Amino acid sequence: MNNWRNAVSERRVEGQRERGIQMLSVQPDTKPKGCAGCNRKIKDRYLLKALDKYWHEDCLKCACCDCRLGEVGSTLYTKANLILCRRDYLRLFGVTGNCAACSKLIPAFEMVMRAKENVYHLDCFACQLCNQRFCVGDKFFLKNNMILCQTDYEEGLMKEGYAPQVR
Ligand SMILES: [Zn+2]
Ligand SMILES: [Zn+2]
Ligand SMILES: [Zn+2]
Ligand SMILES: [Zn+2]
């Protein structure tokens, strides 16, 4: 039985759904583009381009709070056909977890290390006996929900009645 695991890091929120918004000035001699929000022609001096579509400045809005996304910053988030501002996206989908080592909250979008269903801050992902840090791809051992390096794991195996104490 191979009990070793390879360390993996990942973003807390899976799938990057951040999209850019561009503000373009409309050239007077071009045909007006249709707005993806209201389907009318855009006759303003400026229009927004996002998700490969064109929008009135007033039409590109967050589905939740109705804020104009062209103003809040220049990114929007999409999920299940909803267009959302960053704040609402994080509130709805940015599930945060607690670090299995320090029990503090891990904010959405932060990189984490994962071991089984546990997630850890990058800084917290270390051997819980000698504090050796692991990089992505390094081998570690998970015993009784403790992260162990190879040395400590093998030493533990040699001792009889092995019962690791957390720090
Ligand atoms: Zn429109
Ligand atoms: Zn919003
Ligand atoms: Zn932590
Ligand atoms: Zn160790």
* Euclidean distance between CA atoms 149 and 134, whole angstroms: 8
- Residue 53 has a pLDDT of 94
CATH 3.40.1350.10 fits 18-92, yes or no: no
- Residue 68 has a pLDDT of 92
> Both tokens of residue 28?
């007077």
- Residue 81 has a pLDDT of 81
Ligand 1 centroid, distance to 79 Cα (angstroms): 21
Mean pLDDT value of segment 114-143? 88
Ligand 3 centroid, distance to 100 Cα (angstroms): 7
Residues having C-beta closer than 5 Å to ion ligand 4: 127, 129-130, 132, 149, 152
- Residue 83 has a pLDDT of 92
Per-residue pLDDT at 149 exceeds 70: yes
**CATH number of the domain located at residue range(s) 4-11+95-161 in this protein:** 2.10.110.10
- Residue 1 has a pLDDT of 42
Q: Would you place residue 20 in the very low, low, confident or very high pLDDT band (cuts 50, 70, 90)? A: confident
> Both tokens of residue 120?
């850890």
Ligand 3 centroid, distance to 118 Cα (angstroms): 11
Proximal ligand: closest to the CA of 72:
2
Mean pLDDT for the chain?
82
- Residue 40 has a pLDDT of 96
Ligand 1 centroid, distance to 1 Cα (angstroms): 61
Residues having C-beta closer than 5 Å to ion ligand 1: 35, 37-38, 56, 59
Higher pLDDT pick, 26 / 61: 61
Task: Dump pLDDT digits (tens) for 28-74.
Answer: 788 899 999 999 999 999 999 999 999 999 999 999 999 999 876 67
Ligand 4 centroid, distance to 140 Cα (angstroms): 9
What residues does CATH 2.10.110.10 cover in the chain? 4-11+95-161, 18-92
- Residue 72 has a pLDDT of 61
How large a percentage of the chain has pLDDT more than 70?
A: 83
